[in-house]
Structure 1
Amino acid sequence: MKLTQFLTAAVLATTAIGTHAAPIWQDFSITGLYGSNYELIAREDKQSTATFEYTAKLKYGDFFAFADRTDNDVSGKETYFEASPRLSLGAVTGQKLELGPIKDVLVATTWEGGEGFNNYLYGVGVDLAIPYFQYAQVNLYRANNDSIDDDYQLTFVYGIPLKLGSEDFLIDGFLDWSTSEDDHESERNWTTQWKWNAGKHISPDTRLYVGIEHSVWTNKYGIKNADENNVSALVKYHF
C-alpha cells in the first residue's frame, strides 16, 4: 500500500509537470566540493564531490533534482541522486491555499537512488513566506526505504540572500530529520552553503559562487554515533 500511495502521488506530480510545455523558470548548476572529516567513507576522511543540480518552477508545481559524484565513498567512487517533483494543490484547484506564513500546499514526492538502493518518499509540503528569506519550504514524508525499515522524514529547505555594500551573498541549504526505527537511529543532516557571488565581477549576468559548505550530520545513515561535522571548500557555477 505504501508503494501504491507513492506511485499515485508521483503520477499526479508527473502529470501536472507534463501538462506544461515549458518551465516558468529553470536553473542548472555544477558544484565542486572538497573537504575532510567525513564519516563512513572508503580510504580516508578527505573527499571530492561534483554535484549537478536542476530546479524549475512549473505551472502546476515545481521540480528539483541533483546527482552527487564522489571519489571516496563507502565502496569507492559512487553516484547518489534525488529527484523531487511537487504538485501544487493551489494551482490545480485554482484556490489560494494561504494561511499565515503558508503560501501554498503541495503533494511532495522524492526518489532517492544510489549504488544498489532506491528509496521512495511521499507526503505533503508547504511553501512559506518568511521575512528575509528568498524561499523556504517544509516537506513531511513517509519513506518507503529499500534496505532499512520505513520511517518518517521532515525536510526544511531555505535560501537567504544578503547584500554587503556592493557584494552579493547567498546562504542556502537544507535540514533533514528522520525518525528512528527498530534497525536504525534517528538521523539529522543540516547542510548549509555560505557563498559569495564572484561572478558579478566578470559580468552582471555571471553567477559564479565561491564559499564553503558546512555539514552537521548526526547518526549518519542511521548508524549510532556516526557523527559528522565538516567544512568543504565550494565553487558553484549557474548556467
Structure 2
Amino acid sequence: MKLTQIAAICAIASTATLAQATPVWQDFSITGLYGENYELTPDEKQSTITFEYAAKLQYGDFFAFADRTNSDGQSDTYFEVSPRLSLGAVSGKKLELGPIKDVLIATTWEGGDDMNNYLYGVGVDLAIPYFQYAQLNFYRANNDIQEDDYQMTFVYGIPFKLASEEFLVDGFLDWSTAEKDEVAHKSELNWTTQWKWNAGKHISPSTKFYLGIEHSVWHNKYGVPNKDENNVSALVKYHF
C-alpha cells in the first residue's frame, strides 16, 4: 500500500472519529431505480437499490451510501463513506466569508469489487438563496486501479412547492482531472440529479415517500474516452 494511501486512510479515520457524536439530526433512506440507457454495464438496462445514511454531528457531518446494482443478471456493490470535520466547530470560531458558512476537512472512502479509493481535502458549506444545503469539496484521490487524480464535488438540495405539493431537487456534480496511466484516463464529469415529488404527504404529514426520476449525465464515464451517458431512471425513495 502506498504511503499516500495510508495517509488518506488515517485522515478518513481521524475525521470520522473526531466528527462522531450524538447526531443533531440523522436520516436513513432506501431508493429503487430502473433505467435503460446505461453505459459500461453488462446490459443497457439496470436496476439499483441504494441505501443512504446522512447525519449532522456536533463537529461535522457524515454521509454514506451503498448501491446494489443488477444488469443482465450480474450484480455489483459500490459504496462511499464521507465524514467531514468542521474546522469552525473544532476551533470555536465562525469561519464565514461571503457565501461560505463553514470550512471543513473533507474525506471519502470509495469501495467496490476489487477497488478502494481514498479521497481527502477541504470542503466548504455554502449559503445560496433557495438552496436547503450546498457543499463544495476539493479532493486529492489516491486510487487503486488507476493513477491518482484530483476531484471536485458539488452537492446540493433545493426544495420547493407547487400549490400544496412538495418537491425536492437534489444531487451532485463530480469532476475529476485527466491522468496518464497505462490506459488513457480522461477527465470525467458526472452530474446526477433527482427530481422528486413527496407523495408521502398524502399518507401523513411526516411521511417522506418520493416518486420521480433520476437524470444522470456522464462525460467520459469512469475516465473512458468518449463513453458518454445520458440516462433517465424511474425512482422510488422512502425515508425512515
Structure 2: distance between partners of 1:7 and 1:91: 22
Residue in structure 1 matched with residue 189 of structure 2 by the alignment: 188
- The Cα of 1:4 is off from its aligned counterpart by 4.0
Residue of structure 1 in register with 2:53 after alignment: 54
1:114-193 superposed matches below 5 A: 114-183=112-181, 184-193=185-194
For structure 1, the residue ranges without an aligned partner over 5 or more in a row are none
Alpha carbons 2:12, 2:109 under 8 Å: kept: no
Deviations 1:40-84 (A, max 9, x none): 111x211100000000000000000000000118x9200000000
Matched AA of 2:15: A
- The Cα shift of 1:36 comes to 1.1
Question: Within 5 A, what are the aligned runs for 1:6-155?
Answer: 6-18=8-20, 20=21, 22-42=22-42, 44-72=43-71, 76-155=74-153
State the alpha-carbon separation in 2 of the partners of residues 50 and 66 from structure 1: 10
* Contact map agreement 2:62 2:84 (CA 8 A) in 1: yes
Q: What amino acid is aligned across from residue 61 of structure 1 in structure 2?
A: G
Code of the residue aligned with 1:238 in structure 2: it is H
Letter in 2 for 1:25: W
Q: Distance in 2 between matches of 1:148 and 1:12?
A: 25
Letter in 2 for 1:72: S
In structure 1, distance between residues paired with 2:79 and 2:13: 20
C-alpha distance in 2, partners of 1:41/1:86? 31
Offset of residue 12 of structure 1 = 2.7
TM-score (ref. length: structure 1):
0.96
Q: Which runs of 4+ in 1 moved over 3 A?
A: none
| Displacement of 1:160 | 0.3
Match of 1:208 in 2: 209
Which residue of 2 is the match for residue 219 of structure 1? 220
* Identity in percent: 74
Relative to the length of structure 2, the TM-score reads 0.95
Measured against aligned partners, the alpha-carbon deviations of 1:3-56 in whole angstroms (never above 9, x if no partner) come to 2432342233122133x2x211000000000011100111x2111000000000
Q: Is the 8 A contact 1:66 1:81 kept in 2?
A: yes
Do the aligned residues in 2 keep the contact of 1:12 with 1:87 (CA within 8 Å)? Answer: no
Shift of 1:2: 2.1
Matched length: 235
Mapped partners of 1:90, 1:7: distance in 2? 23
1:57 and 1:128 mapped to 2: Cα distance?
A: 15
Equivalent residue letter for 1:217 = W
Q: Secondary structure at the match of 2:14?
A: helix
Question: Secondary structure of 2:227's match?
Answer: coil
Q: Report SS of the residue matched to 1:146.
A: coil
Q: Is the 8 A contact 1:84 1:111 kept in 2?
A: yes
CA contact (8 A) 1:34 1:234 kept: yes
The residue type paired with residue 10 of structure 1 is I
Distance 1:14 1:213 in 2: 29
Maintained 8 Å contact 1:5/1:122: no
